[in-house]
Amino acid sequence: MTDRSDDGSSGGGQVALDHRAYIDNAPVGVFVVDAAGRYVDVNPEACQMLGYSRDELLSMSIVDVTAADVEGDPSSDAAFFRVTHDGRAREQVSLVHRDGHVVEVILDAVALQNDHYLAYCQDITERKAYERELQTQQRKYATLVEQSHDGVVIITDGRFAYVNRQVEQLTGRSAADLVGTPFQTVAAPHQQDRLLDRYRARIRGEDVESRYDIDIRHPDGGSRAVSVQASTIDYRGETAVLATLRDITERKAYEEMVREQNEKLQLFNEIVRHDIRNDMNVVLGYAELVGETITDPDARAKFETLVERSEHVVELTEIIRDLTDVMLNEPDQEAQVDLVTVLEDVITDVTTSTALAVEPSWAETRVMVTADDSLGIVFTNILTNAVNHNDTDQPRAVVSLQQSAEAVTVRIADNGPGIADDEKERVFGRGEKGLDSPGTGIGLYLVERLVDGYGGEVWIEDNEPTGSVLNVRLATA
């Protein structure tokens, strides 16, 4: 490659031949121009960069490939002026490809002999496109953060490095007041040491809780309850903590109100049940004495009905106790219990206190299921219901297990009168507004409420030749 003087002869801009191979194989575009800005030499990379052949470029000048009106980028002719004036220039300029698209380059130019100039151009079009996209995303992110309903903070060296406007509202302080101050000082005094310890452990890379609640103090003496979600990020070359702050003051107030109401309800329930049971125990005690004196068959039948209803009232107090406990304390879906042990204990209690004969039918000695300590209430109510609504002389029930890899089904088959198909769904109170739905009443409503809480299922089938089969499916643990 040789440079071209105005008359076509070799001039002072000739590139040394021993550098020829380097220039032709350089990974950047190499251009040589004369004092008028006309190209007198180019390498293959320069031709590929702009989409022209070598002969085409040698008939052109820098003005022909300079992009016009590209905001923020100096033109190549401006860079040419600087190199002719200063003898050297380094600029980011925009050139125009033959097909019209802009090629952004870093241009390094130096003056040669005889008013010729050498320029190396590195194509940075893709990098610039990436940077613009990154800036766009950063602006979008910044807009989202500023418009977020949650507070967002970045903490470095134990101090606020960034806060959004929502944090200003949560804390009652401006960003200017917060940035640079120790982050823990916005929290209630008794929480500050714990916050700082948690922050230091997170920065060290230790496994610490990422979600927790704090109380933020206001300068006016008030406070806000805040839920914090924290994680580590890289911020300006160092490890920092990014945290979102959500105002949960109203939720906390509501939870406190519900807790107080539940305590009052629990106390009321205990008082009422205590008084009812005491009174009914007195009634049953006197009834036992009176019963010894009744000899008339008709009077005896009415008396036994009276005693039966009184005993049912006592039974209802126990069901209401269980129902209240379930309604005030939702079942723990992560707890585990041994189903076999629960069934054995319930069967012993029911057969001891009622006339129901229960036949256990399973080979397993231990079956762990997802449930909690209230699981016994489920089977106690089912078996009690089986005897209370059985009109045979010998009420019986067979309890068996059907186990799969993911669940176990307890089948309780009785020899009672059975339940009509159109009542099988309604006996649990499903679709009813209250507890007065047709069927067996509160007991089975309580059964379904508990089993649903465990993530299980309960349903009724017909037994053969008579009676019903109540199925309870629970997830194995």
Quick one: CATH architecture of 17-129?
Answer: 2-Layer Sandwich (3.30)
Phi-psi region of 140 (alpha: psi -120 to 50; beta: other; left: phi over 0): alpha
Top-confidence residue, 342 or 373 = 342
Structure token pair of residue 306: 């009276």
Structure token pair of residue 169: 């509202």
Domain ranges of the chain: 17-129, 148-247, 250-326, 330-475
Q: Which helix (H) or strand (E) holds 249?
A: helix 249-291
The answer to whether 17-129 and 330-475 have equal CATH topology is: no
pLDDT at residue 422, as a whole number: 83
CB 413 within 8 A of CB 467: yes
pLDDT at residue 146, as a whole number: 66
CA atoms within 13 A on the CB side of 389: 18
Question: In 3-state terms, what secondary structure has residue 97?
Answer: coil
Top-confidence residue, 402 or 220 = 402
DSSP codes joined into one string, 120-136? EEEE-HHHHHHHHHHHH
Poorest-confidence range of 131-140, 174-183, 248-257? 131-140
pLDDT at residue 442, as a whole number: 60
CB 358 within 8 A of CB 399: yes
| CA Rg value for the chain | 43
**284/288 Cα distance (integer angstroms):** 6
CATH topology of domain 148-247: Beta-Lactamase (3.30.450)
Distances in Å between the alpha carbon of 315 and those of 71, 189, 257, 311, 322?
A: 86, 52, 31, 6, 11
CATH class of domain segment(s) 330-475? alpha beta
Phi-psi region of 236 (alpha: psi -120 to 50; beta: other; left: phi over 0): left
Query: Residue 475: what residue type?
Result: A
Cα angle for residues 109, 113, 117 (degrees, 5° grid): 25
Cβ-defined contacts of 203-212 (< 8 Å, 24+): 203/232, 203/239, 203/241, 205/232
Query: Residue 445: what residue type?
Result: Y
**442/428 Cα distance (integer angstroms):** 8
Backbone angles phi, psi at 3, to 5 degrees: -85, 165
Q: pLDDT tens for residues 84-126?
A: 778 888 888 899 999 999 999 999 999 988 889 999 999 999 8
CB 387 within 8 A of CB 396: no
CB 380 within 8 A of CB 349: yes
Mean pLDDT of the chain: 84
Poorest-confidence range of 69-83, 364-378, 432-446? 432-446
76: how many CB neighbours lie within 10 A of its CB?
28
**pTM summary value:** 0.43
**421/175 Cα distance (integer angstroms):** 68
Poorest-confidence range of 6-15, 178-187, 392-401, 447-456? 6-15
Which of 108, 110, 102, 117 is CA-nearest to residue 51?
102
Backbone angles phi, psi at 167, to 5 degrees: -65, -35
- Greatest Cα pair distance, the chain, in angstroms, is 146
Q: Among residues of the chain, what percentage have pLDDT more than 70?
A: 85
Q: Could you tell me the strand order of the sheet in which 211-217 lies?
A: 159-163, 151-156, 238-247, 223-235, 211-217
For residue 241, the cross-strand partners are 155, 232
Q: pLDDT tens for residues 211-245?
A: 999 999 988 888 899 999 999 999 888 899 999 99
Q: Which helix (H) or strand (E) holds 351?
A: helix 339-353
